[in-house]
Structure 1
Amino acid sequence: MLEVKGINVNAKTRERDLTALHLAAEGGYVECIEVLLEKGADTNAKNHRGQTPLHLAARAQAFDCVELLLGKGADPTIADYDRRTALHAAVGKAARSYDIIEALIRWGADVNAKDQYGYTPLHIAALNELSQCVEVLIFHGADVTAKSKFGMTALGIITRKTPASLAMITQKLDAAVTLHHHPESPNREVELRLDFRSILQHCHPREISFLNTFVDEGQKEILLHPLCSAFLYLKWEKIRKYYLARMLFSLIFVLSLSLYVLTALAHNCYNQGKNMNESQPQNLIELCEKKSMLGQMLRNNPFVIEMQWFVLVGITGCEILRKVYGIVGYPNVRQYLSHPENIIEWCVIASVFVISFIYTGRTYTWQNHVGAFAVLFGWTNLMLMIGQLPVFGSYVAMYTRVQGEFAKLLLAYSCLLIGFTISFCVIFPDSSSFANPFIGLITVLVMMTGELSLDLLLDDDSDDPPFLLEISAQVTFILFLLFVTVILMNLLVGIAVHDIQGLQKTAGLSKLVRQTKLISYIELALFNGYLPSYLLNLLHWTALVSPKAYRVVLNVKPLNPREKRLPRDILKAAHEIAKNRKHYGHTISSHGSSITTSCVKKKVINNNIDSPNDAVDTYNNIINNMHTKIDKNNQEIAHLREEIKELTAIISNFIDIFRENSIKNRDKQD
C-alpha cells in the first residue's frame, strides 16, 4: 500500500472494510475520487462483501464516477462474493442507468455474467421492469435464453414484465439482413447477406436452443422472421439424415416385432412345431394348419421362429442403448417422461421380453394380447414420428386436433350416452347387443356413428307379446336418433371442420414450431457430451450449420432464379426487410443514440403520420421535450456539483486537520 505524507489512502474501516475510495464512490463524489486516485488509491480494493469502488459507484448511479474509475484502471469484470459484477449493480431506475451500462460494456464488462443464483443483468433488469435497461442489454448482446438456477429464462421474465422490449429482438434480427452489390458482378447484381450471429452466438453446439426457447416461452411468432426461417431450413437440411435413419431403424424394429407376433403368437406356429397344442383353442390350432408354403415351413422348422425372436432381441438391444443414451441428454427424468413417445417406446421394448417362449419353451394365449397391444403401440409411435416431419406434419396435426376435440366432446356428453345405454338394456333385454351394460355401451357408440338397425324394434315371434314394439321403445330409439346420431355427430363434424380450417390458417407457423421441436430433440440426443471427441467432431461437421461457430454469414442472390439454397418465399421476405431498412435507414447502429432515434421513428409510425408536415411537427415536439429534459438535468447536475464542492472542501479540511494532528504527535514522540 502506498503512503503519502504518513497517510494510508487505502486504509479500511473496521466494520465494512471500506476504503476512502469506496466512500467517495458510494457518495458519488467525483472530485474526491480524482484526489484519491492521484494519491495512489487502489481502484480494485474490495470491501467486506467483495465489492470494488466501481460496484458502489454503479449502484449509486454515479455516471461520472464510473467513467473516471474505468479510465483509471478499474476492472469491470471483478465479481463480489455473490458473484455479481458492477454491471449487475448498474441496473437501476435512474435516468443515466443505461449510460452506465453502456460505459461498463464498452470497457469490457461481461453482459452475460451470472451471479450465484444464475441471474444475469438482463434477468435483474426484467425482474425490476426496467424496460430501457432491458433494451440496452439486448442491444449489446445479452442472451435472452440464459437460464437461472431456478430454470427461469430471461425471455420468460421479459415476456411477463416488459413485453414491449421484445421489439428490440426483432430489430436485431432485422439488422442481420442486409443488401449489398456484388463487387465482381458486371451488372452489379444484388446480394443478400444473412448474419446468423444473433441466433448462434450463445448456443453452440445446440444451435436450435435459441429458437426453441422462444417456442417454449410462447413467442413462437419469431420463427416467421425470414432470418429464423432461413436458419431452420438450413438446419433441417443438415440434420434430417439423422432423423430419417432413426425412422428407418424404428421401422425395422416394428416390422420384426410384427412378424414374430404374427407367426409365433397369432398363428400359434411355434407351439404346433413343438407339438404343444393341447391347451390351445381349436381356432388357433387351425390357423397354422392352412395349406400355405410359409405355414408348413414354420411348422416343420420351429427354429426359424426362434431365430426371429433372437434377431428381434438384438434389434431391441440396439433400441435400448439408443434410448438410454437419449435419457442422458435430458436435465431430469421428469422431463424425459413428459414426452408420451418415450413411455410408448419403453412399453414396446418391455413387451418383447414378455411375449417370449424362452422361459417355458412355449407361448400362451395371454401373450397374444400383450403382443397385439405392443404392435399397435409400435405402429402408432411410428406414425407420430412420421408426423413430425415437416412434409406430413400438418396432416398428423389435423388428426390429433380432431382427436382431442372428440375426446372432450365425448367426455362432456358421456352421461347422455350412459343414460341411453342403460335405457336400451332395460327396454331390449332379449337383444344380444344389450346383454350387459359394457356391450351395450359399445353398441351405443357404434349406433352413434350412424350404424342403426331396426331389428331392435321388430319381433318376428308371433307367440311372444309385442314387448319390443311398445311405445317406450320406439320413443327412446327416436330420441337417440335425434339427439345423438343427428345432433351430436353433426356437432362433432362441425367442430372438426372448424379446427382444421383454423389449423390451415396457421399451417406455416405450426410447421416451423414442429420443425424446431424436432431438431431440438435430435440435438439433445446427439450432443449430450458422452460421446468420444472424434465422434463429436464428426457430428459437428455433419449436423451443424456452423461447425466451429465461426461460419455464420450466408450470401445469397435473391433476384437470381438459379438461387436454390433457400426457398423463394424466404428470399422474398428477407429481401423486403433489407430493402425497407436500406430505404428508411438503419434502425440499430453501434451508438446508444441510435436507440433514441429508433424510438422516435417508432412513435411516428405508431401514430400513423402520413403527411410530411405532421411528421416534422412530431419530430420537433419530441426534440423540444428532449431539450427541456436536458436543461432540467443540467440544472440538477449544476446543483449536485455545488454540493460536491462543499463536501470536497469539508473533506480537505478534515485531511488538513488530520495531517496537523499527525505532525503534532510525531513532534511529541521526538
Structure 2
Amino acid sequence: MSSRKIILGRMSSVDGASQETPVLRGPQPDARFSLLVEALKTNDLPGVLAQLARGLSVNHQEAAKGNRTPLIYAVKHDCLEVVDELLKRGARVGIADANGVTPLHMAAAGGHVPTVLLLLSQGASPDSTDAHSRTPLHYAARAANQDPTDRGVIGVVETLLKKGANRRKLDQEGRIPLHNAATAGSAKLIKVLVDKRSTETLNMKDNEGRTPLHCAVLGARSLEAVSVLLQLGCTIDARDAQGHTPMHLVAARPVNYVDDEFDGACLELLLSQGASVAAKDDEGYNALSLALRRTMWWGRPCTRDFVLHAVQLLVAKGSCIQDGFAMWRMVESFPSLVPVALNRSFCSNTSVRDSQHLRLDFDFGPLTVDARQLREIHRQSPLNPQSELPPPLLKDAEVAMLHYILWAGRKRLLRHPLCHTFLHLKWCKVRKYFLANVLFYLLFVLSLTAFLLSTENCAKDIKSSNISSNSRNTTNSTLNISDTRCLWVGIEAGLVGLSWWCLIIFSSVLTLREVVQLCQNPLLYICNIGNIFDATLVICVPQLLIGGFDMGQYASVTSCCLASWQQKVGAISIILAWVRLMLFTGQFPSCGVYIVMFSTVAKNVMKFLSMYIFLLVAFALGFHVLLRHKAIFDNPGISLVTSLVMMTGELDYESTFLESGISVLSIFILVVFIVLVFIILSNLLVGLAVSDMYAIRQRSEVLRLTRHVELMAQVEALFQSRFMPKSIQRCLLNNISLTGCQLKPSISVFPNRTVGFIDAMFLMLVKLVPSRKYLIKIFEIFVSGFIPPENEPSLPKELLSEAVNIALHEHEVDKRDRLLHLRALQSGVGWQHKSVHMQSSNATSQLAVFRRNSLSRPTSIAVPRNSWRWTFTSDADVEEDAAEHTHLVLQSQPSIRSSALGPSATLGRPVIPDSNARLDDLRAMIFNLQTTVEQLTATVNQQKSNRQN
C-alpha cells in the first residue's frame, strides 16, 4: 500500500498564511516609524504628517517590519486620505516589502476598492507578483475566506480584471485565482473569475493535480460554490495527483474536519449530477471504501449518521464492495446494506435473458481478504477503539471472510447468491479430499461393524488381570506373546482376524488425524460435535482390540470373546460410528438440508421434553407408588421409562390395569395421563416437529451453509498444519484454491450455452491430453467449423437462475440511469432548477434547504430521496433478525413528474428525474404514439380507398 496520505480539511486560505507578511527578526524599529504606524491605526492624518515632518522618508523601508513602507501600512489600515497624501509626497506604488508584497497586494487582500482604484491610477501593475508568484488577484480571492459574500472583494476583482489583470496567472503552487475563490466558497467571485470565452480555467490543475472543484469540496464552505462550478462546466470526475475525484474527497474527509451538513449535501449534489461511483484512486479504492474507512474512527463522537447516509447513497447509486476491507466494515457497521451492495458483484453483458451470448460475471473481490492490508489500514486508523482485528480475518484462508460472517453472527448473509456460489465452487475444489475422507471413514465403520458382529460375548467377565496371573504361574519362562493364537468359537480366525487388523490400521490413522486437528485449533475442534464423536471412538476402539483375550494356562490356545464391559463399549462405539457417518453425508450439498432438518427437529424435541419433563416425572412417581408390585413400575427410574413408552401409545392396559387388586385411583390417573400426555403432549410434540417445515427448511439451508463454511475452514487449517512440510502445504492449498493469484478474482458463466456430444468429448479429453493445442487441431480436422469450448464451472439451476435475475436487473437499472442522466443533461432540467434556486436564495439559505430536505432524518433513516433508486429503512445497530432484511422502497414523487420537462421552484436541489417516476410519462408517451400511429394508418387507408374510387 502506498504511503501517500489523503490530505483533506477545511482550508482557511490558499497557503494557510495570514494577510500580514511574516515579520523578520532584526533591530528595534525606528521610533518615528512606530509612531506613524500607531497613527495609521486610528486614521490620524495629522499624526502621520507630523512624523513625516520629523524627517521620516515617505519611502522608508523599516527592516524590523519586513522592509514595509508607510504606504503599505496605510493601505493595510484602509486610510485612503493618508494613501493619497503619501502618493502626492512621492511615495512609490511599486515598492515591495521583503516578501514581495506591494501596496496593491495589500489593498486587494483587504477588499479596499477605492484604494485599489487610486493605486492603479498611479501606475500600480495589476499583475505584480510577490515572492510566491501571487498576484493581487490571488490575494483578493484568498481574502474571500473571511467573508465569501463581501462585495468589497468582488469589486476589487472586477476592478483588477478591467485593468487587464491576468486571471490565469499561476503561483508557485500552480494555482490560479479561481482555485482560491473555490476554496473560499464564494460563488459570486467564481462567476467573476471564470473566463466566459473559454472554460479552460475551470479545469486547470495545480501542482497537486486539483481543479477548482476539488478546492471547493475541500474548503467545505459553500454548497453554492460547488453548484456554480458544476453549472459552468467543471469536470465532475477530474482526478488529482493521487487519483482522487471530488467525490473521493467528500467521502474520505478526516474526522477532524468533517462537516456533516456540507458533506451530506455535497455528496447528494455530486451524485445527482452524474459523479461516477466506480472511480478508483491510485490505491484502488472507490468512494464507498473510503467512506467505510471512516467507521474506524467511531471511538470519537463524530460522523456515524453521515457515514450511514453516505453509504446508503453510494450503494443506491450502484457502488460496489470491492475488497475484503470494505466487506468487513459493511458487515460490522451496516449489515442490512450488505445484500444490496453485493448485488453489484453480478454483471451481465446483455439484458436479453434467452440470448446464447449471455455472459454472467461473478466478482468475488468482496469475499477475498488480505490480512496484511487489513492490519496496515487498522494501524493507520487514528484513535481506533478496537484493540485488534477479528481473529477469522487474520488467517490466510480463502474462506476467511465467510468465517468472519459466522463469527459476527450474520449467518443469513451466506444465503446471498454470491456467497452461496463461492461456497459451491469451493466445495467442488474440496470434495475430492472430502470423498477420500468419507471413504476412509466408511471402511473404518465397516471394519468395526464386522469385528463386533463376528465376535462372541463371554459368559462371564474376563478381566485382563487373569492374563498377567496366568503368565506368572506358567512354568515356561520363554513365553512370547507371539505364541498366542486366537481361535474364535465356532469359526476360523480368517474374517475376524482380517477385520481386527483393518480396525487397528484405520483406528491408528484416525487417532493421528484427530491429534493433528486438535493441535491445529483446539477451540474449533471442541466446538464440533462430529469431532467429539471421533475423539470418543479413538478412546473406545483400542479397548475392544486389546482387552478381551483370555490366554488360558499355557498360552498356546486361547478362546477369545468380548467381556461384559467390552460389550458396552462396543455398543457405544458402533452407534457413534454410524451416526458420525450420517453426519458426514450431511456435508454433501444434496443431502445436507435433510440432515440439518433432522438435527433441528431433534433440538426442538429436546427443548420440548426438557420443558414438560416434570409432567412425566409426576405421573411416573404416581404409578410407582400405586403399582410398585408390577415389574414395569418396580422403581422410579423404570417407572419413568415406562411413562415415556406409554406416551407413544404402548399402554398395555389389559395386563397392567385390569387385574384384581387395581384401585379405581389407578384407573383415574391412567385416564388423566392419557388425556394430558398421550393426547395433548404427544400431538403437541408432533405438531412442533412438522407444522412449520418450511421455516425449518429455510433455517436448515442456513445451517447447512454454516457447516460448509466450518468444513472449508477446517480443511484449510488442516492443510496449513505446522506438522506438514511447506512444499506439500503449497501443493494442497493451490489445488483447493478458487481465486489463485488473481488480482481481481472472478469467474464467467454462459447460462444459455449448451454443450453437445462433441464439446463434452473435447472437455473430457482436455483433462487427459497434456497439449490442448494439438487436441484442437485434431478436432478441427474431423469436425468442420469446430470452436473449442471452455470448461465452465457448473452451478445449481436455482442458484444460477437467481444470479441471472440479479445481474439482469442491475444491468437494466444501470442502462436506464445512464439514459435518464443523459436526457437530464441534454434538457438542462437540473441547471434550470439550480438557476431558479440561486436567484432566490444565498449560500446560507441554500445550505439550510439541504439540511431541511436531506439531513434532518430520523433514526430509522426512512427519508424519501428524489434522486435515488432506493431508500433503505434500516439502522446501523439493529439486531440480527432485523439486519438480515433490507427493505427497498421504490419512490415515486409527483413533484418529479411535474418537473421532468421544465423548471420547478419547489425543488431545493438539482436532481435527475427518478427512473420509476418516469414510468408514467413513458407509458403516456407510448400510448399517445400508438394513438397517433392508428390515426395516421386510418388516414392513409382512407386516402387509398378514395383514390381507388
TM class by shorter-chain length?
Answer: 0.5 to 0.7
In structure 1, which of residues 473, 483, 491 is the aligned counterpart of residue 666 of structure 2?
Answer: 473
Quote how far apart the aligned CAs of 1:393 are.
1.7
1:458 aligned partner, one-letter code: L
Residue of structure 2 in register with 1:456 after alignment:
656
2:329 aligned partner, one-letter code: A
Identity of aligned residues (%): 22
The question of 1:339 aligning with 2:528 is answered yes
Residue of structure 2 in register with 1:237 after alignment:
428
1:317 aligned partner, one-letter code: S
Q: Deviations over 1:31-53 (max 9, x none)?
A: 22489999999xxxxxxxxxxxx
Query: Which stretch has the larger CA shift, 29-38 or 382-391?
Result: 29-38
Q: Flag the 1:34–1:619 CA change in 2: closer, same or farther, 3 A.
A: farther
Residue of structure 2 in register with 1:585 after alignment:
814
Quote how far apart the aligned CAs of 1:400 are.
1.6
Residues 363-378 of structure 1 mapped to structure 2, 5 A cutoff: 364-378=563-577
RMSD over aligned CA atoms reads: 5.4
Quote how far apart the aligned CAs of 1:603 are.
4.5
Residue of structure 1 in register with 2:680 after alignment:
487
Measured in 2, the distance between the counterparts of 1:576 and 1:467 equals 74
Measured in 1, the distance between the counterparts of 2:723 and 2:255 equals 35
Q: Flag the 1:355–1:511 CA change in 2: closer, same or farther, 3 A.
A: closer
In structure 2, which of residues 490, 493, 501 is the aligned counterpart of residue 296 of structure 1?
Answer: 490
The question of 1:317 aligning with 2:508 is answered yes
Query: Which of 1 and 2 has higher RCO (CA within 8 Å, sep 6+)?
Result: 1
Measured in 2, the distance between the counterparts of 1:612 and 1:94 equals 24
2:538 aligned partner, one-letter code: I
Measured in 2, the distance between the counterparts of 1:234 and 1:25 equals 43
1:545 aligned partner, one-letter code: L
**Alpha carbons 1:178, 1:193 under 8 Å: kept:** yes
Q: Flag the 1:195–1:487 CA change in 2: closer, same or farther, 3 A.
A: closer
Q: Flag the 1:90–1:264 CA change in 2: closer, same or farther, 3 A.
A: farther
Q: Flag the 1:442–1:393 CA change in 2: closer, same or farther, 3 A.
A: same
2:442 aligned partner, one-letter code: L
Quote how far apart the aligned CAs of 1:428 are.
1.2
Measured in 2, the distance between the counterparts of 1:142 and 1:555 equals 17
Number of aligned positions between the proteins: 536
Q: What SS does the aligned partner of 1:235 have?
A: helix
Q: Flag the 1:189–1:481 CA change in 2: closer, same or farther, 3 A.
A: closer
Measured in 2, the distance between the counterparts of 1:353 and 1:587 equals 70
Quote how far apart the aligned CAs of 1:241 are.
1.4
Q: Deviations over 1:501-536 (max 9, x none)?
A: 422456655554444443343333334566434323
In structure 2, which of residues 908, 914, 927 is the aligned counterpart of residue 625 of structure 1?
Answer: 908
The question of 1:381 aligning with 2:569 is answered no
Q: What SS does the aligned partner of 1:419 have?
A: helix
**Alpha carbons 1:63, 1:96 under 8 Å: kept:** no
Residue of structure 2 in register with 1:414 after alignment:
613
Residues 1-20 of structure 1 mapped to structure 2, 5 A cutoff: none
Query: Which stretch has the larger CA shift, 505-514 or 253-262?
Result: 505-514
Q: Flag the 1:623–1:395 CA change in 2: closer, same or farther, 3 A.
A: farther
Q: What SS does the aligned partner of 2:361 have?
A: strand
Quote how far apart the aligned CAs of 1:382 are.
1.6
Measured in 2, the distance between the counterparts of 1:436 and 1:622 equals 89
TM-score by length of 2: 0.47
In structure 2, which of residues 263, 270, 273 is the aligned counterpart of residue 96 of structure 1?
Answer: 263
The question of 1:554 aligning with 2:747 is answered yes
Q: Flag the 1:566–1:364 CA change in 2: closer, same or farther, 3 A.
A: closer
2:627 aligned partner, one-letter code: F
Query: Which stretch has the larger CA shift, 307-316 or 616-625?
Result: 616-625
Measured in 2, the distance between the counterparts of 1:262 and 1:555 equals 53
Measured in 1, the distance between the counterparts of 2:457 and 2:709 equals 41
Residue of structure 2 in register with 1:429 after alignment:
628
Residue of structure 1 in register with 2:802 after alignment:
573
Measured in 2, the distance between the counterparts of 1:603 and 1:582 equals 19
Q: Flag the 1:458–1:234 CA change in 2: closer, same or farther, 3 A.
A: same
Q: What SS does the aligned partner of 1:391 have?
A: helix
Residue of structure 2 in register with 1:19 after alignment:
none
Measured in 1, the distance between the counterparts of 2:583 and 2:259 equals 49
Measured in 1, the distance between the counterparts of 2:284 and 2:258 equals 13
Residue of structure 1 in register with 2:870 after alignment:
602
Q: Flag the 1:493–1:109 CA change in 2: closer, same or farther, 3 A.
A: closer
2:908 aligned partner, one-letter code: N
Structure possessing the higher radius of gyration over alpha carbons: 2
Q: Deviations over 1:549-602 (max 9, x none)?
A: 35833333323344883333333333333332332326999xxx9xx9996121
Q: What SS does the aligned partner of 1:195 have?
A: strand
**Alpha carbons 1:320, 1:349 under 8 Å: kept:** yes
Residue of structure 2 in register with 1:537 after alignment:
730
Measured in 2, the distance between the counterparts of 1:622 and 1:108 equals 42
Q: What SS does the aligned partner of 1:554 have?
A: strand
Residues 196-235 of structure 1 mapped to structure 2, 5 A cutoff: 196-202=363-369, 206-235=397-426
Residues 139-154 of structure 1 mapped to structure 2, 5 A cutoff: 139=319, 141=321, 143=323, 154=329
In structure 2, which of residues 213, 218, 221 is the aligned counterpart of residue 63 of structure 1?
Answer: 218
**Alpha carbons 2:10, 2:219 under 8 Å: kept:** no
Quote how far apart the aligned CAs of 1:490 are.
1.0
Measured in 2, the distance between the counterparts of 1:154 and 1:107 equals 21
Quote how far apart the aligned CAs of 1:475 are.
0.7
2:747 aligned partner, one-letter code: L
The question of 1:31 aligning with 2:208 is answered no
Measured in 1, the distance between the counterparts of 2:665 and 2:905 equals 80
Residue of structure 1 in register with 2:344 after alignment:
172
Unaligned residue ranges in structure 1 (runs of 5+): 1-23, 42-60, 76-84, 148-152, 280-292, 460-465, 629-670
TM-score by length of 1: 0.64
Q: Deviations over 1:64-111 (max 9, x none)?
A: 59xxxx968999xxxxxxxxx9968777846438979x9997253879
Q: What SS does the aligned partner of 2:715 have?
A: helix
Measured in 1, the distance between the counterparts of 2:433 and 2:571 equals 29
Residue of structure 2 in register with 1:658 after alignment:
none
Measured in 1, the distance between the counterparts of 2:257 and 2:577 equals 56
Residue of structure 2 in register with 1:54 after alignment:
none
Residue of structure 1 in register with 2:880 after alignment:
none
